Amino acid sequence: ITPRGFARYGTDEIARMESLGLSVQCNTTGNPYSADNFLEMAKDSDAIIIGVDICDRAVMKQCQKLKVICKFGVGTDNIDLAYAKQRGIYVGRTVGSNSLSVAEHVAALMFADAKNLYPTIRDVKAGGWCKPTGAELHGKSLGIIGFGAIGKSLAKIATGIGMHVIIYDAFTIDPKTAQENECTIASLDELLEMSDYVSLHVPLLDSTRDMISTQQFDHMKRDACLLNASRGGIVDETALYEALKRGAIRSACFDVYSSEPPRPESPLLALDNFLLTSHIASRTREAERRTCLISTNYILEHLGL
């Protein structure tokens, strides 16, 4: 078990696994595992629970006993799914365990953007007293790209504060579901054209890599804000920098980056209209507990225990 949170929030689950006869090795270092630590742990394991550790073909080839992998979260882009399938290794993810936490984080980023939290906190601490004029979110439109577990949670929060929610998904959304969630279904271009805030909630796949680039920025409102708490590779960061610099969009708030942490030389870091957090959207006590429980259940079920 590599995720740091497991040692803290999954003590009951570790005890449950041990009581069923499993020998459990859990990362108790408080730090992420290195690739070497990860391989050392995985190579003799029947099952692994992993975070963002790279579990590609080369790694799996060295793990001959491996039967089950559970992602501590939902994004499985760090796992070679095709090779796992070929080897007959079950791969699960903790669907829905952190969707509320991520949705709340995105809402927090939207509020921070609209209320100028970042520049005012920084300015007042530095002895200043700046008075930027913010905006209300009520009445604004939020475009949600990817209407899965997180997209749906975010839609609920946004409609609750009086935002108009526009949704787009690669799969046809049932109009009844949209109506129940008080959302309007649109094409990607329509969503980009109509939204004051655009939030990404798709997985990182070949089909979603660089899905938001110059052409999409040119479809967006000049006053729009782009939110990304999905995966870094979904936004073309060079095009994002240019869009923010030339005013194609007003601002962007990100929790995820093409390289994590972002490279110190990334020009995005110097922009005042780029607000960022450190891939923490799902990191809440509640989500960690749920994720420990769901991942343990998956492992036990697929080991037949």
Query: Looking at the annotation, which residues are catalytic?
Result: 231, 260, 279
Give the residue nearest to ligand NAD (CB).
148
Number of other residues whose CB lies within 10 A of the CB of residue 292 = 26
In the bound state with ligand NAD, the residue whose beta carbon lies nearer, of 13 and 255, is: 255
The distance of closest approach from Cβ of residue 20 to ligand NAD in the complex, given in angstroms and rounded to an integer, is: 28
CA 175 vs CA 144, 209, 235, 273: distances in Å = 15, 27, 28, 36
The distance of closest approach from Cβ of residue 247 to ligand NAD in the complex, given in angstroms and rounded to an integer, is: 27
Q: Which residues sit opposite 48 in a β-bridge?
A: 69
In the bound state with ligand NAD, the residue whose beta carbon lies nearer, of 15 and 170, is: 170
| In the block, residue with structure tokens 């080369």 | 58
φ, ψ at 48 (rounded to 5°): -135, 145
The distance of closest approach from Cβ of residue 12 to ligand NAD in the complex, given in angstroms and rounded to an integer, is: 23
In the bound state with ligand NAD, the residue whose beta carbon lies nearer, of 36 and 206, is: 206
In the bound state with ligand NAD, the residue whose beta carbon lies nearer, of 8 and 67, is: 8
The distance of closest approach from Cβ of residue 171 to ligand NAD in the complex, given in angstroms and rounded to an integer, is: 4
In the bound state with ligand NAD, the residue whose beta carbon lies nearer, of 98 and 296, is: 98
CA 242 vs CA 46, 191, 263, 268: distances in Å = 47, 21, 17, 9
In sequence order, the 6+-apart residues with CB closer than 8 A to the CB of 213 are 235, 236, 239
How far apart CA 120 and CA 118 sit, in angstroms, is: 6
Q: What six digits make up the tokens of 207? A: 């089909």
What is the residue-wise DSSP string for 273-305?
A: TEEE--S-TT--HHHHHHHHHHHHHHHHHHTT-
How far apart CA 103 and CA 156 sit, in angstroms, is: 9
Residue 262: cis peptide before it, omega within 30 degrees of 0: no
Which of 281, 292, 189 is closest to 232 using CA atoms?
281
In the bound state with ligand NAD, the residue whose beta carbon lies nearer, of 17 and 154, is: 154
The distance of closest approach from Cβ of residue 63 to ligand NAD in the complex, given in angstroms and rounded to an integer, is: 23
Q: Where on the chain is the footprint of ligand NAD (CB under 6 A)?
A: 73-75, 98-99, 102, 145-151, 169-171, 201-204, 207-208, 229-231, 255-256, 279, 281-282
Which of 205, 202, 175 is closest to 188 using CA atoms?
202
The distance of closest approach from Cβ of residue 31 to ligand NAD in the complex, given in angstroms and rounded to an integer, is: 18
